[in-house]
Copies of this chain bind each other. A is one copy, B any other.
């Protein structure tokens, strides 16, 4: 397919770009009144995720309203554990809750692996509808959680500052942990391939809870599974790995078959480039709180960020998802400032 704007794909592949591509994690969501208008008509977040036409509509909103260089399919990383057999509820102002978690061997045996991907037809359909509506304006990003992050929710049963229940399981049941992680990895590979088959032009793996593991544990219980995903996908479309807070993971990621490495704002651009080398595109990394400033402040931050990352082998983004109380005009100021930067 010919894109009207394929900047992000070229940047991801390391091809020369005439300006820096930009999008934002959580660009579709509460910051847009157009999103809130749709969301308010529905029973909840899950209805939106599971209704392809509506998911497609909110996916495209930031392309129209903010002028970003990519859409990312509106969904949630927790659709995978649900498809594997552990449904979740999204509780307002509290986050996800799993009424059932993994307690014993029978629970592990009951989890679906690669077959779970068949349960996610509604996501593939949302991708197909979005692709049709986008009509080549910008590429569409698909995504999944990293196996460790999904595991953490499946064992913990909810969000947590420390995920100490999930980590207790790693320490006390390392072999069972690996069984579960392998099943999640199988499901994730099949799911990401399904997203590509449906039309996703690029993929991102989110390891949201990377920061709470030691480097050694991260290797043993996260990196190796991400690596298997990278190997299996084998550059079929550009692939981004984003492990929030895992500063030590930059070294192993630099050796994987991924194309882009996402960084948060605690990771310095120049230092990260040195650690990662020239072979990967970097993505990130503005602090979402920087968008609480006025337009002038945001423009200064963007300039500083682009000066330090450089315009090639780089995709501008935040270092975390947009916070819901961000002024949408300041989000637009961020996007515009990247677009106006002279390469």
Minimum C-beta distance from A125 to chain B (A): 33
**A 187-225 binary contact with B (CB < 8 Å = 1; else 0):** 000000000000000000000000101110100000000
Q: Which of B162, B248, B293 contacts A323 (CB 8 A)?
A: B162
Binding site secondary structure of chain A = helix
Tell me if A292 and B211 are in contact (CB < 8 A).
Answer: no
Stoichiometry (number of copies)? 2
Chain B positions within 8 Å of A162 at CB level: 288-289, 323
Between A and B, 29 residue pairs with Cβ closer than 8 Å are: A161-B161, A162-B288, A162-B289, A164-B288, A164-B289, A164-B292, A164-B323, A164-B325, A167-B292, A168-B292, A170-B289, A171-B289, A171-B293, A172-B292, A172-B294, A211-B211, A211-B245, A213-B266, A214-B265, A214-B266, A215-B266, A215-B268, A217-B287, A245-B245, A245-B266, A247-B247, A247-B266, A248-B266, A248-B268
Interface residue? A108 (CB, 8 A): no
Tell me if A289 and B215 are in contact (CB < 8 A).
Answer: no
Interface residue? A297 (CB, 8 A): yes
Q: Which of B167, B289, B290 contacts A289 (CB 8 A)?
A: B167
Cα separation A292 to B297 with both chains bound (whole Å): 46
Residue of B nearest to A289 (CB): B167
Chain B positions within 8 Å of A292 at CB level: 164, 167-168, 171-172
Tell me if B171 and A297 are in contact (CB < 8 A).
Answer: yes
Minimum C-beta distance from A118 to chain B (A): 34
Cα separation A245 to B168 with both chains bound (whole Å): 20
Chain B positions within 8 Å of A215 at CB level: 266, 268
Cα separation A294 to B171 with both chains bound (whole Å): 9
Cα separation A170 to B297 with both chains bound (whole Å): 12
Residue of B nearest to A323 (CB): B164
Chain B positions within 8 Å of A245 at CB level: 211, 245, 266
- Of A171, A265, A323, the most chain B CB neighbours within 10 A belong to A171
Chain B positions within 8 Å of A293 at CB level: 171-172
Given A164-B325, A215-B266, A265-B214, residue A171 in contact with residue B248 (CB < 8 A): no
